[in-house]
Structure 1
């Protein structure tokens, strides 16, 4: 797509395409998601999308100005799918753990799209809803605003980073995944205790643990740290505020 701008009023197509499909933003995003999982980033071209939709490629400009506009819509759709069935219960730790696991599962359900979109900030409806919801959970739990923002940022970045990392592994061919997992047994498992005592002592655990994602454990560590911080705040001994956000951050996209 190019940077052609079409007035919003002209974006809705009323007539069916050659295949009898009435175009909509939702249908284009759904088709683009499917094509990305099949073909990767190369799927985001008006020619390929038009062919898949049975539509003239130029008709896509009624909905998206260019491919990056479509990519942001895809990222926002992934957020929306995560939020669709998430309902806060009032237990902030349980609610954020549930949301984090849903974010991670959503990334693994669309691994190629997750890798392409994890670093994006959409500014669209689902992302705005997610920011509002997570900040609401934290503020209602009792975190002061600076703390709530810092924990939100760490929570979201952690989930997105693990989602992209684990999605990259999922996108590998099965034989490659198995070969990499076997390295912990075939290479690390044979290192002698005389030269690598710590690896040799823990290799049975490494062989088991390194085959799966550490995200649930990392999420629990983050939430435990946040809960400890809140306990200090409630006790009136806030002390030195932790440095939740660091330099070089890419901005903290939401689930």
Structure 2
């Protein structure tokens, strides 16, 4: 299933580049991902992509209408990669947890596409498969159609929001991450009890604030789903 901005197949002309490589959607997406994730790389442009592929930039427009369509195709590729080898089991909570962890980990491996992954719909084949898989898990668990859709939206938005946040943190410099951890350890944990009584009471646990809340949030969300299913008498 192609997104709305893909160029119809009949308009593509498979000509070799100056280096003798024959262009394809997959090859262009692979090159785009390499450019996006390259250290010090700025915004993706068709000109940069043409240079990397050894072709005239205009050739890329035979495959993608613009860089936005290309970014969505790249995001869809990463969704597919995250689900490689994935198979739901009879344990729907474990299946959904594994699904979420895979998506979260995939975003962290490609942090510069985190915002696209979190805010855009690719309408590509991988995302269609992912949505079908996630909703299918919830339907098999016993949720009705409306509940399955609502819970999947809550689930995937929660996963992607945490992934985007954790990707931003990972993209900080070593010094910035160290300073944040130091703040929780040496500033917040040592504030005077007379002015900050609640922080003082939990001071030994405040360094944990430097870590990701994703695992706890995911478990809490799945527990909420399970509790609703049990309350409805279908779990």
> Do Structure 1 and Structure 2 share a fold, with TM-score over 0.5?
yes
- Name the residue aligned to 1:245: none
- Name the residue aligned to 2:197: 197
- Name the residue aligned to 1:214: 213
Note the C-alpha offset of 1:19: 2.6
- Name the residue aligned to 1:229: 228
- Aligned-partner SS, 1:210: helix
- Name the residue aligned to 1:21: 21
Tell me if 1:129 matches 2:129: yes
Note the C-alpha offset of 1:116: 3.4
Check whether the contact 1:5–1:61 (CA below 8 A) recurs between aligned residues: no
Aligned pairs for 1:69-218 within 5 A: 69-207=69-207, 209-218=208-217
**Structure 1 residues 158 and 24 mapped into 2: Cα distance closer, same or farther (>3 Å)?**
same
Q: Deviations over 1:59-106 (max 9, x none)?
A: 101110001111110111111111112111121000000010111110
Whole-Å Cα distance in 1 between the matches of residues 63 and 70 of structure 2?
9
What is the TM-score when the length of structure 2 is the normalising length? 0.92
Whole-Å Cα distance in 1 between the matches of residues 47 and 128 of structure 2?
31
Which stretches in structure 1 are left out of the alignment for 5+ residues?
Answer: 237-255
Note the C-alpha offset of 1:107: 0.7
Using CA pairs under 8 Å that are at least 6 residues apart, name the structure with larger relative contact order, 1 or 2: 1
Whole-Å Cα distance in 2 between the matches of residues 79 and 230 of structure 1?
28
**Structure 1 residues 40 and 103 mapped into 2: Cα distance closer, same or farther (>3 Å)?**
farther
Check whether the contact 2:180–2:210 (CA below 8 A) recurs between aligned residues: no
Give the CA RMSD over aligned residues: 1.9
Q: Deviations over 1:174-196 (max 9, x none)?
A: 11111122111222022111111
